[in-house]
Structure 1
Amino acid sequence: MNQGTVFCADFADYPFMQEAAMRLADDTRLIIGGQGRLPPSSGDASLDRYEYFDWRNYFRFADFEPRLDARSVIPLDRVSYYEPAKQRFMRSLDRVFLEPASYAQQEQLFYGLIRAFEAWITRTPRPLTVFFAHTPHFPWHIVFHQVCKTHDVPVFICRTTQIADAVLLDADLSEHGQRWVRPAQPIDPTWVTDQAWARSPRMANSVSINVRAERHARKRVGLARWIAIAWRYFRDRQYLAHRHYHRLPWRRVMAVARQRQRQRRADLAYLDANARRHAPDQPFVYFGLHYQPERTTVPEAGYFHDQIQAIRLLAAALPEGMVLAVKEHPRQLGDRRPSLRRFHTQRTPLYRAIQRIPNAVLIHAFVDSASLIGRARMTASCTGSAVFEGLQAGIPGVTFAATWHSACPSGPLCSQAEALPALIERLLAKPTDEVRADYVRFLDDNAEWWFLGANDDRAVKRSAFSRQTLRDSVAEMLYDTAIGSHEPRRHVRLARDNSPTQESA
Structure 2
Amino acid sequence: MNILFKSFDGDPTERALLEAAFRNTRLGNCISIANDPSVLPKLTAQEHRWMSAGNLRCGHYPDVDWSTILPIDEPLLEAMRHCEAQCLRMLERYAFPQDIPFEERKRQYLRHLQYWNHVLGTEKIDLVLMNHVPHQCYDYVIYHLSKMKGIPVLYIDRMLTTDSVFMVSDWEESSPEIRDHYREVRERYTQTAEPITLSENYEYLYSYYLQKRPTPWYKPGKNPDSRRGFISKWYGRAAKLLFRDPAKLFTALLSPETWRRKLAEHRTFQFYERHVQTPDLSARYFYFPLQYQPEASTNPVAGAFTDQELSIQLLASCLPSGIRLYVKEHPRQGERCRSEDFYRSLLEIPSVTFVPKGFDTYELMDKAIAVASGVGTALFEGMIRHKPGIMFGHYFYQYAPGIHTVHSVEDCRRAVDSILRGEGLPTEWDVRMFLKAMDECSTPSAGLPALSPHEKRSDAEKVELMGAMVARSILTLPARKQ
TM-score (norm 2): 0.81
Where do residues 62-101 of structure 1 align in structure 2 (5 Å cutoff)? 63-64=61-62, 66-70=64-68, 72-98=70-96, 99-101=98-100
1:329 partner SS:
coil
How has the CA–CA distance of structure 1 residues 114 and 84 changed in structure 2, closer, same or farther, with 3 Å as cutoff?
same
Partner Cα separation in structure 2 for residue 92 and residue 115 of structure 1: 18
* Aligned residue in 2 for 1:115: 114
Per the alignment, residue 285 of structure 2 pairs with 284
Work out the CA distance in 2 between the residues paired with 1:79 and 1:215: 40
Alignment of 1:86-485 (within 5 A): 86-98=84-96, 99-125=98-124, 128-161=126-159, 163-174=161-172, 177-178=173-174, 180=176, 190=199, 191-199=201-209, 206=216, 209-213=219-223, 217=227, 220-221=232-233, 226-232=238-244, 251-252=251-252, 261-333=262-334, 342-343=335-336, 345-430=337-422, 434-454=426-446, 457-458=447-448, 464=455, 465-485=457-477
Q: In 1, distance between residues paired with 2:91 and 2:302?
A: 16
Change (3 A) 1:111 1:325: same
Q: Is the 8 A contact 2:133 2:296 kept in 1?
A: yes
**Which letter does structure 2 place at the counterpart of 1:286?**
Y
| Distance (Å, rounded) in 1 between the aligned partners of 2:218 and 2:74 | 51
1:483: how far off? 4.6
2:137 counterpart letter in structure 1: P
**1:20 corresponds to 2:17:** yes
Alpha-carbon separation, structure 1, partners of 2:382 and 2:254: 41
In the other structure, the counterpart of 1:503 is: none
Following superposition, the deviation at residue 135 of structure 1 comes to: 1.1
Structure 1 residues 359 and 299: alpha-carbon distance in aligned structure 2, compared to 1, 3 A threshold: same
Equivalent of residue 7 in structure 2, options 7, 10, 17 = 10
Residues 121 and 71 of structure 1, relative CA distance in 2, 3 Å threshold: closer
Distance in structure 1 (CA, Å) of the matches to 2:419 and 2:30: 47
- Confirm or deny: 8 A CA contact 1:279 1:372 kept in the other structure: no
Extract unaligned runs of 5+ from structure 2: 183-196
Quick check: 1:39 aligned with 2:38? yes
Distance 1:209 1:347, change over 3 A: farther
Distance 1:417 1:8, change over 3 A: same
CA 1:26/1:229 → structure 2, altered by over 3 Å: closer, same or farther? same
1:212-245 residue CA offsets vs partner (Å, 9 max, x unmatched): 337974682475652223333569x8xxxxxxxx
Change (3 A) 1:101 1:166: closer
Q: What root-mean-square deviation, in Å, do the aligned CA atoms of Structure 1 and Structure 2 show?
A: 3.8
The code of the aligned residue for 1:268 comes to F
Mapped to 2, the partners of 1:8 and 1:488 lie a distance apart of: 16
Calculate the TM-score normalised by the size of structure 1: 0.78
User: Could you tell me which amino acid in structure 2 is paired with residue 63 of structure 1?
Assistant: Y
The separation in 1 between residues aligned to 2:202 and 2:450, in whole angstroms, is 17
Supply the distance in 2 between the matched residues of 1:458 and 1:437 (Cα, whole angstroms).
30
Q: Is the 8 A contact 1:351 1:362 kept in 2?
A: no
State the shift of 1:281 in Å: 4.3
Superposed displacement of residue 310, structure 1: 0.5
Q: Which amino acid aligns with 1:436?
A: E
- Check 1:280–1:270 CA distance in 2 against 1; reply closer, same or farther (3 A cut): farther
Cα offsets for 1:283-316 (capped at 9, x unmatched): 0000000111111111111221111111111111
How far apart are the structure 2 equivalents of 1:414 and 1:208?
26
| 3-state SS, counterpart of residue 56 of structure 1 | helix
**Contact persistence 2:444–2:465 (CA under 8 A):** yes
User: Aligned equivalents of 2:311 and 2:246: distance in 1?
Assistant: 39
Query: Aligned partner of 2:80: which letter?
Result: Y
Q: Distance in 2 between matches of 1:159 and 1:268?
A: 32
Q: Which amino acid aligns with 1:133?
A: N
Return closer, same or farther for 1:461/1:280 CA change in 2, 3 Å cut-off. Answer: closer
User: Aligned-pair distance for 1:262?
Assistant: 3.7
Mapped partners of 1:460, 1:258: distance in 2:
42
Three-state SS of the structure 1 residue aligned to 2:71 is coil
Q: Distance in 2 between matches of 1:234 and 1:327?
A: 37
Residues 71 and 9 of structure 1: CA distance in aligned 2, closer, same or farther (over 3 Å): closer
CA deviations over 1:22-77 (Å, ceiling 9, x no partner)? 121541438463452333589xx789995433233434556358522456223544
